[in-house]
Amino acid sequence: MNSYVEKDLQYIWHPCAQMKDYEELNPIVIEKGEGVWLYDINGKRYLDCISSWWTNTLGHSNKRINEAIKKQIDNIEHVIFANFSNKPAIELAEKLVKITPNKLKKVFFSDNGSSAVEIALKMSFHYNMQRGNVKKKKFVALSDAYHGETLGALSVCDIDEFNTVYKPLLLDTIRVEGPDCYRCTYNRDSCHAECFGNMEKCMIENNQEISAVIVEPMVQGAAGMKIYSPIYLKKLRKLCDEYDIHLILDEIAVGFGRTGEMFACNHAKISPDFMCLSKGISAGYMPMSVVMTTDEVYNCFYGDYKDRKSFLHSHTYSGNAMACAIALENLKIFEEENIIEQNKKKGEFIKKLTLEKAKLSNYIGEVRSLGMITAIEIVRDKETKEGYPWHMRVGYEIYKIALRKGLVLRPIGNVLYFIPPYIINEDEIEFMVNTCFQSIEEYFKSNTFKVYN
Ligand SMILES: *Cc1c(COP(=O)(O)O)cnc(C)c1O
């Protein structure tokens, strides 16, 4: 065994993993990245189909972004953000206010997605307390939602594997059955987001108690890339206004072009009261997040210090100058290279190839796609849409085969997906889709599958 691998196993506890698995499938130590490719210490290369956990926008070791970092680091790397500021943070905040929906006027910086969710929840609650709405203490979230894993964020999540054990520690959240288009019982060809009825009922019954509704707009990522109609978001915005409830959009995974629009809420042409952004904001280079909000919320916290209205939440690395410089260059490249328009075309191409391949396969229940997200759901029975039981780890087994072939997939249960860096080219797309389907076929012919089945 390579000594790096040995030491990794000796010293490191990896996220989202059963460490025993690492003894069979050793950690892959990456030495270098270039575009969509990752190179390990043995020189083997892998196509990063998932943009290193949905963060990378413009490829690994992007020349322009690397230059922007080098330039920034010779000026200032980081400075306290209380009472101090820095040029990249100021320029970035101005830019973000310009490109996000029109109600969003203020930018609050933090350093990871979960923190951004915590901030939005706290701001919404705090706003209501300052307004004397003391009964508004609850949050509403959707079934299968994912919003991060610190305790507040986890409270609005609904992913069994992450939630169940911590239930005694979590906030009392109202859970609403959300959209599930693949298994929808309404007529899918003429969707009017009938499933919104569940949310409507909840809001009618509980609006006095609800501070905010939080959703992942258009795509529930960790739920297996469940894509739903913008009509749902339109209805949600309208009802939140009617009942004086904040709408928090968690755009952490879908913001910055992933869905084919700059922000996923643009599909529905709505503006939230809070927008959480992270992941793609800093091109996959550095931890960074922001919460954007309205003048109305901001003004509610404005006053003399003795009024005790301030929002005293803080993170050490808020407004980090390096991360902001990266985010600015990221957005500049988006504009100059017309990334959003390109994503629409590339997304269509990935979808077309995937659909062609899926038609020839016996194992695919659905291909769903929005912009630069394409997901494949594997089912045991296309009629009943029944999946394989979790303990078979179908996705994980296919993941291991694909790795040997030079592809980094990271399936969620029975769902495989492509969320590649936006700079992926046609040849790379073909390699990605073909290799993925080869891996699927190989798995179903393998002894592992036969033993389980
Ligand atoms: C990744 C993610 C988070 C959490 O972000 P972290 O930086 O991992 O804490 C929250 N919400 C969504 C939708 C995400 O995809």
CA of 367 to the centre of ligand 1 (A): 24
pLDDT-derived band at 156, boundaries 50, 70, 90: very high
Ligand 1: atom nearest CA of 250 is 13
Q: What is the mean pLDDT of residues 370-380?
A: 98
- pLDDT 10s digits, 71-104: 999 999 999 999 999 999 999 999 999 999 999 9
pLDDT of residue 449: 93
Q: Is 294 annotated as a binding residue?
A: no
**CATH code, domain carrying 24:** 3.90.1150.10
pLDDT of residue 2: 84
Percentage of the residues of the chain whose pLDDT score is greater than 90: 96
Instruction: Please check whether residue 68 lies inside any domain of the structure.
Output: no
User: Do 131 and 88 have their domain in common?
Assistant: yes
Mutate to test the pocket of ligand 1, among 52, 56, 146, 150 (most ligand atoms within 8 A of CB): 146
CA of 312 to the centre of ligand 1 (A): 23
Q: Is 410 annotated as a binding residue?
A: yes
Look at residues 316, 336, 356 and tell me which one is the last residue of a structural domain: 336
β pairing state of 364-370 and 138-142:
unpaired
Mutate to test the pocket of ligand 1, among 142, 258, 279, 285 (most ligand atoms within 8 A of CB): 279
Mutate to test the pocket of ligand 1, among 147, 249, 256, 258 (most ligand atoms within 8 A of CB): 147
pLDDT-derived band at 190, boundaries 50, 70, 90: confident
pLDDT of residue 216: 98
User: Do 91 and 232 have their domain in common?
Assistant: yes
Q: Has residue 202 got a pLDDT over 80?
A: yes
CA of 288 to the centre of ligand 1 (A): 11
User: Do 131 and 275 have their domain in common?
Assistant: yes
CA of 401 to the centre of ligand 1 (A): 27
Instruction: Please check whether residue 69 lies inside any domain of the structure.
Output: no
User: Do 175 and 278 have their domain in common?
Assistant: yes
User: Do 105 and 127 have their domain in common?
Assistant: yes
Instruction: Please check whether residue 452 lies inside any domain of the structure.
Output: no
- pLDDT 10s digits, 121-154: 999 999 999 999 999 999 999 999 999 999 999 9
Q: What is the mean pLDDT of residues 358-384?
A: 97
Residue nearest to atom 7 of ligand 1 (CA): 113
- pLDDT 10s digits, 215-250: 999 999 999 999 999 999 999 999 999 999 999 999
pLDDT-derived band at 161, boundaries 50, 70, 90: confident
CA of 253 to the centre of ligand 1 (A): 7
Instruction: Please check whether residue 451 lies inside any domain of the structure.
Output: no
Q: Is 113 annotated as a binding residue?
A: yes
Please indicate, yes or no, whether the overall pTM of this predicted structure exceeds 0.75.
yes
User: Do 140 and 43 have their domain in common?
Assistant: no
Q: Which domain holds residue 7?
A: 3-61+338-445
User: Do 386 and 400 have their domain in common?
Assistant: yes
Q: Has residue 187 got a pLDDT over 80?
A: no
pLDDT of residue 189: 77
Q: Has residue 364 got a pLDDT over 80?
A: yes
User: Do 104 and 127 have their domain in common?
Assistant: yes
User: Do 152 and 50 have their domain in common?
Assistant: no
What's the total number of domains in the chain?
A: 2
Look at residues 321, 336, 351 and tell me which one is the last residue of a structural domain: 336
pLDDT of residue 90: 98
Q: What is the mean pLDDT of residues 30-59?
A: 98
User: Do 39 and 125 have their domain in common?
Assistant: no
Residue nearest to atom 5 of ligand 1 (CA): 113
Instruction: Please check whether residue 450 lies inside any domain of the structure.
Output: no
Q: What is the mean pLDDT of residues 44-53?
A: 98
Instruction: Please check whether residue 183 lies inside any domain of the structure.
Output: yes
Q: Has residue 188 got a pLDDT over 90?
A: no
Residue nearest to atom 6 of ligand 1 (CA): 113
Q: Is 279 annotated as a binding residue?
A: yes
Q: Is 316 annotated as a binding residue?
A: yes
**CATH code, domain carrying 109:** 3.40.640.10
Q: Is 250 annotated as a binding residue?
A: yes
pLDDT of residue 372: 98
Instruction: Please check whether residue 158 lies inside any domain of the structure.
Output: yes
Residue nearest to atom 15 of ligand 1 (CA): 253
Percentage of the residues of the chain whose pLDDT score is greater than 70: 100
CA of 146 to the centre of ligand 1 (A): 7
pLDDT of residue 452: 81
Ligand 1: atom nearest CA of 53 is 1
Look at residues 312, 336, 360 and tell me which one is the last residue of a structural domain: 336
User: Do 133 and 235 have their domain in common?
Assistant: yes
Instruction: Please check whether residue 214 lies inside any domain of the structure.
Output: yes
pLDDT-derived band at 12, boundaries 50, 70, 90: very high
* Number of C-beta neighbours around residue 177 at 10 A: 14
pLDDT of residue 453: 73
Place of tokens 């755009």: 251
Query: Average pLDDT, whole number, for the chain?
Result: 97
CA of 316 to the centre of ligand 1 (A): 19
User: Do 363 and 305 have their domain in common?
Assistant: no
pLDDT of residue 348: 98
Output the ligand 1 site: residues, CB below 6 A.
112-114, 117, 146-148, 216, 221, 250, 252-253, 278-279
Q: Which two tokens stand for residue 309?
A: 């209205």
